[in-house]
C-alpha cells in the first residue's frame, strides 16, 4: 500500500482511471459483438449499420489512447472484410 500522501493520491487516481477505461473497453467490445452477431445471422444491412455506429467508437478509443491505432485498424478491416463476404 502507498505510504506517502502523494502515492495514496496517485493510487486513487489510477483506480479511477482504470474504472473509467473499463467502461470504454466494454463499450468497444459490445459494438464489435453487435457487428459480429449481425454478420453471423447473415443480415448484411444490420451489420453495415452496426459497423457504421462502431467506427466512431473505435476511433474515439484510439484518440483517448485506450487502444493502439493498429489494433483499431485491424478490427475495422476484419469486420469490413466479413461484411463484404456476406454478399459473396
- The predicted-structure confidence for 44-68, as pLDDT tens digits, reads as follows 999 999 999 999 999 999 999 999 9
List b or e across 18-41, with b for residues whose CB sees 16 or more CB atoms inside 10 angstroms. Answer: eeeeeeeeeebeebbebbeebbee
Q: How many helices (H) and strands (E) does the chain have?
A: 3, 0
DSSP 67: S
- The predicted-structure confidence for 15-42, as pLDDT tens digits, reads as follows 999 999 999 999 999 999 999 999 999 9
Residue tagged 487516481 (cell numbers): 13
Domains of the chain from N-terminus onward: 14-87 (1.20.58.110)
Report field, pTM of the whole predicted structure over 0.85: no
Amino acid at each position: 500500500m502507498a505510504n506517502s500522501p502523494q502515492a495514496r493520491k496517485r493510487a486513487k487516481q489510477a483506480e479511477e482511471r482504470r474504472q473509467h477505461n473499463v467502461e470504454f473497453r466494454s463499450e468497444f467490445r459490445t459494438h464489435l459483438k453487435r457487428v459480429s452477431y449481425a454478420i453471423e445471422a447473415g443480415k448484411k444491412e444490420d451489420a453495415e449499420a452496426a459497423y457504421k455506429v462502431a467506427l466512431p467508437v473505435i476511433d474515439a478509443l484510439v484518440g483517448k489512447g485506450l487502444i493502439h491505432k493498429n489494433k483499431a485498424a485491424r478490427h475495422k478491416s476484419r469486420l469490413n472484410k466479413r461484411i463484404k463476404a456476406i454478399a459473396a
